[in-house]
Structure 1
Amino acid sequence: MPDLPRFESQMMIDGKLVGGRNGTFVNLNPATEEAIGEVADASTADMHRAIDAARRAFDDTDWSTNHAFRQRCLLQLQEALEAEREELREELILEAGCPRAITAGPQLDAPLSDGLRYPAQLIDDYPWETSLGDAFVSVTGVNTTRKVWREPVGVVGAIVPWNFPFEVAIHKIGQALATGNTVVLKPAPDTPFNATRLGRLIAENTDIPAGVANVVTSSDHLVGEELTLSPKVDLISFTGSTAVGQRIMEKGAATMKRLFLELGGKSATIVLEDADLALGCMMGIAPCMHAGQGCANPTRLLLPRSRYDEGVAMLQAMYAGIAPGDPQDASTLCGPVISAKQRNRIRGYIQKGIDEGARLLVGGPDAPDGLDRGYFVRPTLFVDVDNSMTIAQEEIFGPVLAVIPYTHEDDAVRIANDSPYGLAGNVMSASLDHALAVARRLRAGFIGLNGAAGYGADTPFGGYKASGVGRQNGTAGFDQYTEIKSVAYPAVSEPRRRRGEAGPPNQPGRLGESHAVV
């Protein structure tokens, strides 16, 4: 095993590394069930200290208006993270249980490449001010210049899950800070160290003013709920389960919280009759990556009945060759799930699939052979699944695939859309035009064709229906961290008219009196 990274046990509030009023709590390695360290355990009072600091920093500093300074600070943080990349890699493997191979992609290297750089550049390119041109406004009798300004929302509560903790955190704080907001980052109690590392690097290696960014760790989820309840917090940026997202919407209603909610999914891959069947079935092993702990994982695979038996045979051979294992091993695809609670929940779903009549081909609810410690689940393949079954409708968040037969293309689209979720999906076809046509019919926010995925800090990510509200990343992500202010003033090119005086005739590019803003 590589050398242990230096874990940061303190959280960061108002520019200082501090302990928690509730002492500390233990961070466990899900692959071994052993303690890897302790971290500050915040109380509600600690959380309110962080909220107050963020509010003060937004209201009393020029962070919200100084674009060049924000850009410089984000690039300072980028440099500091690059210097500790390999320590961060080992940290994520230990606390998230993520396989080493995946840190080369979405767990670390991919978000580190552009999670801060993209929003830092967008500070220069974003339309902070747009002109609507001049128009005669009848209610005032004035030829008026009209502009639209984009301004930061204010204090952002960023709540991060345990499955891809750094990836989610860096995209949240990158866009929230770049748009001029201040932030209180609340990591999941299962994966606090990558967040406290961020706090330490901000405090020690950047010029980010005290209070602009805060990191609060706690073993109690209700401490994080203080962000939702506080009238001093303007926006909640949450990634996690749909049930918690619904609670945030409910609790935040009293203070009219702005919301970004990236929630659950039950994504489907449609393998069309003309597709490369082997490539389509390869998409079926995606739920085994990181033990299925990904909201966009395609956990339903739809095969045409004309090729169903052939596809099932391929999938059975693939799943038989995947064994859960040590995430430190570079060849491991399926590591542990995050906790005993999550392991038991997944095994319960597998048993429900058996009880409801799905045909179990590989895996099952029993413990994997040879793994006496750690929170491991056997990669599990169900076939002959009806889309009304629990395992086809509910998010399992484990290495479980439901294979569903369909009779014709319209049937496949209907099945794929027959879900409370709408986060992601895939279409496999020998014809790109054919795949694009089917993709347009899917009610989901993130569609991949023939194995491609449009991942990146410039790509909006989010879902339809119960999969959430808003988008992370891209200019759409920037937009959600801003408020819109419309500004009007008398056009300097013409004198002010008295009320009742005739206005100018319609002109190209201008609103006439009949369309005036009132």
Structure 2
Amino acid sequence: MTGLLDKRKFYIDGQWVDPVRANDLEVIDPSTEEAVAVISLGDRADTDRAVAAAKAAFADWSLTEPAERLRHVERILEIYNRRAPDMAWAISHEMGAPQDMSLGDQVAAGTYHIQNFINAFKEFDFIRPLGDHAPTSMVAWEPVGVVGLITPWNWPMNQVTLKVIPAILAGDTCVLKPSEIAPLSSMVFAEIVDEAGLPKGVFNLVNGDGPGVGTQLSTHKDVDMISFTGSTRAGIAITKAAADTLKKVVLELGGKGANIVFADADDKAVVRGARHCFYNSGQSCNAPTRMLVERSIYDQAVETAARVAQETQVASAHQPGKHIGPVVSKLQWDRIQDMIQKGIDEGARLVAGGTGLPEGVNRGYFVRPTVFADVSNDMTIAQQEIFGPVLSIIPFDSEEQAIEIANDTPYGLTNYVQSQDGARRNRVARRLRSGMVEMNGQSRGAGSAFGGVKMSGRAREGGVMGLEEFMDSKAISGWHND
């Protein structure tokens, strides 16, 4: 273990504690394939201890004034910003986000969400009148209880802040289980929470894997809610595991976003779409991995996307620059390679990239940015989430056909529309079956809810809806108005 960071402890009831039983796991740096740290995977006794701490803390924390909870979160944000370099280092080494992207995007996503929650919380009414027609009927928003938070490795702080911060603000207490593949950033986050002086038991962290701590939280009788981000397969398993306790289950799952590029799209639409697909090495559930292109500009779009792939640099996460880094693990690398080969075998036309490591690379989980043309929507690469820098281009002949292809997927997270015709954009956006639609490269506004439909789950994370997700509503009649 010489040279490895020792991160075996858990954060439970306001202190760092040893696991009840040792169960070491090395954290692998995907740029080098070498271990960078060692953690411990929790056992049921660790999970029970964390849940008990959260349950004990709930009685007092749930009754604190909103202003007090807000002060704690504002303090967390202050320390988070100060610890940004430490957080960026952890993310680069645990999941492979390049140095500059890790600080400027991965860490910054956490800052963005915390600030947006603070803004939304300041305007949040915990007790609201039902309406003018019922002046003594009120709707009260109250904390759910003890919440289990299970987060993925691809955007660690994006997801941790989208869960922990609204839970704390809502008056819940929580147990966080970050991905065992990328746990280091969450341990930095626990240090931040500890320094912020949050009362003991309000926030707890137990490392572990899905079948272990994940299932223990999902089935625990004293956990009132599970908020999970990850694969659709795991989301289904969590739903089944949680059924016997009838706890609230909120899922943010995979995606297979369609990017509909009409002939009148702006000149940068294809470049923008391809870069977005390759961003974070393709490891984003909302990535526009299916590019649907109107037939009259199809050949040019294929040529442009291929050029973007060829120009996309792939290099170590330890280096500065605008390149993409490795994918997170050997398991993921192998799966992506299999999917690329399947695309070739099923008859898609490979126009950039392909299987194997990029030229000049002999270690690390690096994937060549890959573009397939002449993809039909029934191919495996068009239907299954690849979670790598792989773009599938599909031609269409009419608006109706584009909508039909876009909706022909089990997923429904984010779709994209590129057109200069505003009426058509609006019309298409309303017919796309997804939780989000982004048009002409314009990002959703601050505080917008993130979430999907169908097999992408139906979570709504961020802003006011993200706060309400961690609360239950109570209808009260006969309210005395002063």
Q: TM-score, normalised by structure 2?
A: 0.94
Other-structure match for 2:221: 231
C-alpha deviation, 1:132, in angstroms: 3.4
Q: Match for residue 11 of structure 1? A: 10
**Distance across 2 between alignment mates of 1:221 and 1:315:** 40
Aligned 8 A contact 2:98 2:325 in 1: yes
**Residues 1:455 and 1:29: Cα distance change in structure 2 (over 3 Å):** farther
Per the alignment, residue 496 of structure 1 pairs with: none
Tell me: CA distance 1:425–1:490, structure 2 relative to 1, closer, same or farther (3 Å). Answer: closer
Q: Which residue type is aligned with residue 191 of structure 2?
A: R
Residues 129-140 of structure 1 aligned to structure 2 (within 5 Å): 129-132=127-130
Q: SS in structure 1 opposite 2:27?
A: strand
CA deviation string 1:380-426 (max 9, x = no partner): 11000000101000100011000000111111111111111110011
Question: Equivalent residue for 2:178?
Answer: 187
C-alpha displacement of 1:8: 5.0
1:427 is matched with which residue? Answer: 417
> Distance between the aligned counterparts of 1:124 and 1:301, measured in 2?
40
2:125 counterpart (127, 141, 165): 127
Q: Which moved more, 1:483-492 or 1:10-19?
A: 483-492
Q: Distance in 2 between matches of 1:184 and 1:491?
A: 37
The answer to whether the 8 Å contact 2:177/2:206 transfers is yes
User: Hey, what does 2:368 align to over in structure 1?
Assistant: 378
Which residue identity does 1:195 align to in structure 2? S
Provide the alpha-carbon RMSD of the alignment.
Answer: 2.1
Q: Using a 3 Å threshold, how does the CA distance of structure 1 residues 307 and 117 change in structure 2: closer, same or farther?
A: closer
- 8 A Cα contact 2:376 2:394, kept in partner: yes
For 1:46 and 1:184, locate their aligned partners in 2 and report how far apart those are by CA, in whole Å: 11
Shift of 1:461: 0.4
Tell me by how many angstroms 1:36 deviates.
1.1
Q: What do the CA deviations read for 1:416-474 (whole angstroms, capped 9, x no partner)?
A: 11111110011111233332222122111121111122164x11000011111220012
* Partner residue, 2:467: 478
Q: Secondary structure at the match of 1:237?
A: strand
2:325 corresponds to which of 309, 313, 335: 335
Paired residue total: 479
Contact 1:274 1:429 in 2 (8 A): yes
Give unmatched runs, 5+ long, in structure 1.
137-143, 494-518
What residue is the counterpart of 1:210 in the other structure? 200
CA distance in 1, matches of 2:477, 2:146: 27
SS at match of 1:381: strand
Task: Specify the code of the residue in structure 1 equivalent to 2:65.
Answer: N
Distance 1:280 1:64, change over 3 A: farther
Asked if the contact 2:62–2:143 (Cα under 8 Å) also holds between the matched residues in 1, the reply is: no
For residue 308 of structure 2, what is the aligned residue in structure 1? 318
Residue 85 of structure 2 corresponds to 86
Give the helix-richer structure, 1 or 2. 2
What is the alpha-carbon distance in structure 1 between the residues aligned to residue 405 and residue 225 of structure 2? 35
Return the offset for 1:123.
3.2
Aligned to 1:26: 26
Q: 1:167 maps to what in 2?
A: 158
In structure 2, distance between residues paired with 1:81 and 1:7: 22
Question: Structure 2 counterpart of 1:439, which letter?
Answer: A
Cα distance between partner residues in 1 of 2:130 and 2:158: 37
Letter paired with 1:447: V
Identity %: 38
Alignment of 1:350-499 (within 5 A): 350-454=340-444, 456=446, 458-489=447-478
Read off the aligned partner of 2:454 and give its amino acid letter.
Answer: K
Structure 2 CA distance for aligned equivalents of residues 317 and 477 of structure 1: 39
Return closer, same or farther for 1:64/1:333 CA change in 2, 3 Å cut-off.
Answer: farther
Q: Does 1:274 align with 2:272?
A: no
Whole-Å Cα distance in 2 between the matches of residues 265 and 489 of structure 1?
45
Partner of 2:43: 43
Please report how far the alpha carbon of residue 66 of structure 1 lies from its aligned counterpart in structure 2 after TM superposition: 2.3
Call closer, same or farther: CA 1:297–1:145 in 2, change over 3 Å: same
Question: Equivalents in 1 of 2:466, 2:68: separation in Å?
Answer: 21
1:135–1:312 Cα change, 3 Å: closer
Q: How far has the Cα of 1:154 moved from its partner?
A: 0.5
Closer, same or farther: CA 116–317 of 1 in aligned 2, 3 Å: closer
SS of the equivalent of 1:489 reads: coil
Name structure 2 gaps, 5 residues minimum.
Answer: none
Deviates more, 1:16-25 or 1:93-102: 16-25
Bigger radius of gyration: 1
- Give, as a single letter, the amino acid of the residue that structure 2 aligns with 1:120: I
Select which of 227, 234, 241 maps to 2:231.
241
Separation in 2 of the partners of 1:6 and 1:450?
44
Answer yes or no: is the 8 Å Cα contact 2:149–2:175 preserved in 1: yes
Look up the match of 1:508. none
Per-residue Cα deviation, 1:343-364 (whole angstroms, up to 9, x for no partner)? 0001001111111111111111
Distance 1:282 1:120 in 2: 31
Cα deviations by residue, 1:257-298 (Å, 9 ceiling, x for unpaired)? 212111000001100111124423431232211210000000
Rounded Cα–Cα distance in structure 2 between residues aligned with 1:186 and 1:131: 37
